[in-house]
Structure 1
Amino acid sequence: MDRNLQFLAPLNGINEKRLRYFYTVMMFGSMRKAADILNIEQSAMSRQIQPFESELKINLFKRKGRHIIPTEAAYLVLEYFKENKNRENELFDSLFQLQSSQLGKVNIVSSESYMQHMIYDVLRHVHHKYPNLEIQLELMSAQHVVRHIVDSLAHIGLAYNPPFHTDISTIAHKIEPFIVAVPAGHPLAKLKHRICLSEISAYKFALMPVGHGFRQLLDSEMVRLQVNLNIGLTTNSIYALKNYVVAGHGISAMRYADIADAVKEGQAVALTIDSELCNMAQTQLMVRKNTHLSESKHLLIERIRSSFDLIF
């Protein structure tokens, strides 16, 4: 690369939306996989990447047949993205520290799916740097998360596919498609198309009880398709669902994030469901409508939003 060449930055700065699309492609190493995760067509993904390259006046990927290879420039842009995320987190750290003398107690209710990230990122960070903030964290179904917020038993709720309630305000969200998880080597893993729930009725299935966001999605799809599942396990633990699949006992359905580590280790395969409802399922950060939020709660909400990459 010629260091003597002058690079002219875009007049309006870097397009944040395209930067996020680029980051997803880099993380999954494939336009198709990135498009599936973001629930868009591959052509739409290409339409975001190509103008991003034009905007930066440099190629980010080399095309080799059906594969893409990141260029040196792509890794520079990836480093920029990560540095920006770190600076954003540092900003929230500073704001939180500024208000530390005013921190009180915050009650959070959440689905189990988010616990590992909540403990290792959000709460670990808060307890380490802001000892004046007392947090009460309870795990429950999406239905109970909504009920606790509506009844003012909790200040902040985080849930997957929660039921709608007129007294709830969703302040941030993230689309996280509901997928079918099967053991590595399972017959369904060989399918090349999006899977329909009618195709899985012959296999033992693990699911959550009524009241959980996972169960609500499954019940809605089963009613729509008029099919039944071959239920082998009912449990309120996402850990149990994941390990039911990894152990080879049967299949299940969950967010991709819940099975991602097993997929990366070759223990499981995630299959996209042929359902708009499942592909548009959301993680939602909620508070009660028309309720006053202290500065400490606002800052904690922003920390959760940033950590889980939610959007307003």
Structure 2
Amino acid sequence: MPLGPSSRQLSYFMEVLRTGSVRGAADACNVEPSVVSRQVAALEADLGVSLLERRGRGVVPTEAAELVLAYCRDRVAGNDTLRTQLLEIEGLKRGRLHLMVGDGFVDTVMRLVVGRFCGEFPGVEVTVEVGGTSETVRALAEDRCDLGLALSPPTSSAIHVVSQRAHPICALMAPDHPCSRIEAPLTLALLQKYPLALAAPGTGLRTLIQSAADDECVELRPSFVSNTVMPMKHYAEAGLGLTFLSAQAAATELADGRLIARPIANSILQSSRVQLIVRDRPRLSPALTRLIRTFDESQYFSAANDPQPMDGR
């Protein structure tokens, strides 16, 4: 009875899809292209389906190949989980974890969670990668990361929400900005009249802001665009205009009085949430379970850790 695809066949197959060609896979694996071709052909013969279609000098996956790729990812994830579970016997002395975190969350996550975890389990290699909301969801679904922290991610059957909390988006500005003297929550219709620094298109924050603007039929034309938080804060702090971020993302600047945060009168921005997400699977690895527990113990998802919008007076 056939035992299914071999690890060698699947490894070469995944490399072909990753590089887009047999030659690219061969170069990456340091073997001759004929070796890769034979292994992929053997895999196709064993499964009784065609997996690759030639396009120019490269190849593209067939519909069947997508199913095999999903199987490969599950198999790799299962191997990683087994390896980590075995390491649990040693008290998490070794292992690997990959987090993908939104840019605005990095400082707080490092201070409250990752630093604590690394101090307690120095043998576990922790990778923190900055990624946007859509990128984080995609990476989890494809098993390219273990845990994500994202701003109002889209619903996905492949993703499970571990924890979440309210994370309203505010208007950040220098203390002498004209809007700082307004008592009521600021409207987008008012804010559009001033120079704006916005997150880059495609980021979770920009998508959220665009949804809010579309909801109110307001056009927000940025004077400055950045795919990271720090330049946007510098822009506002320099008095060049205002920007849209959470109070948490500017906690240091708010505490120092270099910026103030004012609430925005928009239900989409007021109801935004930060979510801790994993791929939906029956069992998480011990290392990942322990990291999630560290999030809980740090009270990261407690509202008490969020600076509140301030009027600067």
Q: Could you say which residue in structure 2 is the equivalent of 1:143?
A: 134
Task: Confirm whether residue 250 of structure 1 aligns to residue 213 of structure 2.
Answer: no
Equivalent residues of 2:172, 2:242 under 8 A apart: yes
Instruction: State which of 147, 151, 154 in structure 2 corresponds to 1:160.
Output: 151
Q: Could you say which residue in structure 2 is the equivalent of 1:307?
A: 298
Equivalent residues of 1:172, 1:284 under 8 A apart: yes
Structure 1 gap ranges (5+)? 1-96
Q: Shift of residue 100 of structure 1?
A: 2.6
Stretches of 4+ moved more than 4 A in 1?
none
Q: Could you say which residue in structure 2 is the equivalent of 1:19?
A: none
Once the two structures are superposed, residues 65-112 of structure 1 have per-residue CA deviations (whole angstroms, 9 ceiling, x without a partner) of xxxxxxxxxxxxxxxxxxxxxxxxxxxxxxxx9963465211111111
Residue correspondence of structure 1 range 230-245 to structure 2 within 5 A: 230-245=221-236
Structure (1 or 2) with the larger CA radius of gyration: 2
- TM-score of the superposed pair, with normalisation by structure 2: 0.64
Equivalent residues of 1:102, 1:296 under 8 A apart: no
Distance 1:101 1:201 in 2: 51
User: Which 10-residue stretch deviates more, 174-183 or 298-307?
Assistant: 298-307
Q: Shift of residue 240 of structure 1?
A: 1.1
Q: Shift of residue 293 of structure 1?
A: 0.7
Structure 2 gap ranges (5+)? 1-87, 303-313
Once the two structures are superposed, residues 191-240 of structure 1 have per-residue CA deviations (whole angstroms, 9 ceiling, x without a partner) of 11111111111111111122322111110011111111231111111111
Once the two structures are superposed, residues 32-85 of structure 1 have per-residue CA deviations (whole angstroms, 9 ceiling, x without a partner) of xxxxxxxxxxxxxxxxxxxxxxxxxxxxxxxxxxxxxxxxxxxxxxxxxxxxxx
Equivalent residues of 1:195, 1:274 under 8 A apart: yes
Task: Confirm whether residue 174 of structure 1 aligns to residue 161 of structure 2.
Answer: no
Q: Could you say which residue in structure 2 is the equivalent of 1:7?
A: none
Distance 2:211 2:179 in 1: 22
Task: Confirm whether residue 183 of structure 1 aligns to residue 149 of structure 2.
Answer: no
Residue correspondence of structure 1 range 279-290 to structure 2 within 5 A: 279-290=270-281
Q: Secondary structure at the match of 2:223?
A: strand
Q: Could you say which residue in structure 1 is the equivalent of 2:100?
A: 109
Describe the shift of the 1:277–1:242 C-alpha distance in structure 2 as closer, same or farther (beyond 3 A). Answer: same
Instruction: State which of 189, 197, 202 in structure 2 corresponds to 1:211.
Output: 202
CA-atom RMSD in angstroms = 1.9
Q: Shift of residue 300 of structure 1?
A: 0.5
Q: How many residues align?
A: 215
Amino acid at match of 1:273: I
Instruction: State which of 120, 131, 139 in structure 2 corresponds to 1:129.
Output: 120
Describe the shift of the 1:306–1:265 C-alpha distance in structure 2 as closer, same or farther (beyond 3 A). Answer: same
Q: Secondary structure at the match of 2:222?
A: strand
Distance 2:126 2:292 in 1: 12
User: Which 10-residue stretch deviates more, 119-128 or 149-158?
Assistant: 119-128
Q: Shift of residue 261 of structure 1?
A: 2.5
Distance 2:212 2:266 in 1: 8
Q: Could you say which residue in structure 1 is the equivalent of 2:111?
A: 120
Distance 2:107 2:260 in 1: 21
Amino acid at match of 2:267: E
Describe the shift of the 1:101–1:302 C-alpha distance in structure 2 as closer, same or farther (beyond 3 A). Answer: closer
Distance 1:238 1:188 in 2: 21
Equivalent residues of 1:105, 1:135 under 8 A apart: yes
Describe the shift of the 1:308–1:111 C-alpha distance in structure 2 as closer, same or farther (beyond 3 A). Answer: farther
Amino acid at match of 2:104: S
Amino acid at match of 1:118: V
Distance 1:309 1:113 in 2: 14
User: Which 10-residue stretch deviates more, 295-304 or 118-127?
Assistant: 118-127
Q: Secondary structure at the match of 1:230?
A: coil
Q: Shift of residue 280 of structure 1?
A: 1.3
Task: Confirm whether residue 271 of structure 1 aligns to residue 270 of structure 2.
Answer: no
Q: Could you say which residue in structure 2 is the equivalent of 1:195?
A: 186
Amino acid at match of 1:177: P
Q: Percent identity?
A: 21
Instruction: State which of 286, 294, 307 in structure 1 corresponds to 2:285.
Output: 294
